[in-house]
Chains A and B, each alone.
Chain A
Amino acid sequence: MTTRSYTRGDFQTDQEVRWCPGCGDYTILASVQQFVAALGRPREEFVFISGIGCSSRFPYYMNTYGMHSIHGRAPAIASGVASTRPDLSVWVITGDGDALSIGGNHLIHALRRNVNLNILLFNNQIYGLTKGQYSPTSEVGKTTKSSPFGSIDYPFNPVSLALGAEASFVARTLDMDRNHTQGVLKAAYEHEGSAFIEIYQNCNVFNDKAFIQITGKEERVHNRIDLEHGKPIVFDGGSKAVVMRDGEATVVDSSSIDPTAILVHDETRPEPAIAFALSRLSHGPYGPTPLGIFRNVQRPAYDTELNAQLEKAKDRFGDGDLSQLIRSHGTWTVEEASSNGG
């Protein structure tokens, strides 16, 4: 593979970035630009495809190939690109409304097929572009423009949903933590098949401080559970630990248990059950919440399999012959001077 030397600036466009000042999207954009620049992979090999919403303006600001498409359909459109062009690195940029509401079906099916895509879901738990309605990740009871008496919609947990669809790579990160974001991006990029990353993203206009329990200086120490492959899951300065009890992941005081009972994180477990249990530790960023890679397993990628079928068919039947094809149902010949009158 060709490598080139890039800086973040090489991946910036001449378009004025039009997110609200202070929006978490700025930080994510910087993280992604920095990450892809560092890869040294030719810029023309990247494709960023988005749907509709604040986050979906993202491709306009990436100096790569890109498409700002229609609401919810980015995973389907990106599947068409990735299935036919294994030489490209294809990214989907989406939000909680785009991916989980109008586009829910495309998201789960892209994950099920395991198409070679990196799907970045910017979760701000609100509809921003339409100015502040509750979203499919908003908490029950949330008062918004469209739920003046409080939302009665039970929210999705995006990580649980992706694991339920048997996604082969599932992670969660934070807009503000650029190092963490880039670490997760790297693992996703190296993963073959669909990689799903939920990014907690602060909407400072319509849902400010939604993630304060994880990001606040005081709070984060107590609530941020960093998942690290091969390591026991402990947090809050080592005072808290996660154990499996009755099939559920449970937070306990480290001092109260035998250290060998602490759950050791293994992102490569073939079955998603324990990863799912970890995703249930929090239903949203309201208390101790795991961040990092929940699952990272190998299974055949759709596009790899599709292109292998084409090669196999060519090996077996030879390159298609159109003339033979249109004769394949049997033919007959009418000679020149036919004796039958019409």
Chain B
Amino acid sequence: MKKPTEYNFKFQGQTQMAIGPEVLMHLPKFLTMQGISQPFWIFPKPLSERRFLQRKLTKVLREIPADATAVGPLLNENELLQLADCLRNSSFDSLIVGGDADTITFAKIVAILAKKDNEITVSQALETIKADEDIETLPLIVIPFGVWDGNECQGRFTYQEKVFENLAVAPRLALFDGRFTRRTTLQAITHTMYTALLQIFTALYTSQNPMLLSMAETALYSARQTLEAIISTTKSRKSWTSVTLFAAATLHAAGLCSQNSGKSAIVACTESLASPNFATKHQNAIAILPYLLELIEQTDPLLYRTIKGMLSGIDPQQFVNAWETLNESATTVKTIRLLYQNSYTFLTSAQHLRELRPLLTLMSTRRGSV
């Protein structure tokens, strides 16, 4: 592990996290705390989800918010530009979005566009964003439910298969209410946890300053609680709610670890090599995790022991293994690992790379279509 004299780090937790079985009832208090008085609402288009959210909101706000729109389920460029146009010269001081990962991504892009001049396309607007640049965005508040992608509490989002990142896009506040999170499936939870665990371990592998260690400890505590809760869960609604809330806490803390340790090629690799109908980024993550832990054990045994301590004495390899067997088919994971191994063996040859470069360059521009 790094010595204290080598300390040179920065740490920040941009997103205020509020998690609880009925945390939405505290929404007015959180809005006051953040100084937000005139928000614009974004709801998901599917009627059942929208009505469910609106019903709960009515209890808290005593009325359905009038300044609102419904979007999705897929990202639509025209919809994005139109909404950004409406918000650009308005007096709204923030965006509140309730919905799944796609709806939240939609809101993140609108939050950027609303503070930019008229742009020709969304891609052109996003291309100017750099990770380290201080950009102006409309403050964002998220109420996640449905499918999570692990980026809910971060400044990252994916648009047209490209990953964008800027801290200013991270939500100001994320409210994980048990009544919404319990709609998440076991598969969605385990998949998100794979990515979260990868984020935690890569962050620790990169940097071990006291602030990051504290956040990683919180994340691993929550991950352990999630696993224990899944294993011992009964069929009651209350126990499943607890599972999803512990998972949300892990997601947030892992996101903070990842955000503060800088860009990781390991995490980026799982995102870049994700392909529809074969391996998601989460499946790639669980395929890589045992090897990453082995690497940590070999190169930094003290860190490995620290991680073990954070897991209350559970061996990190066994912990990851428990998560893997919980949901993922062994065949899929093995196939992904073989693919990684074969790609490495093949592409580390300079001759192979030289000959294949023109062909792979051509393929990379086509996004899978011929």
The answer to whether A binds B is: no
Using a CB–CB cutoff of 8 Å, the interface residues on chain A facing chain B are none
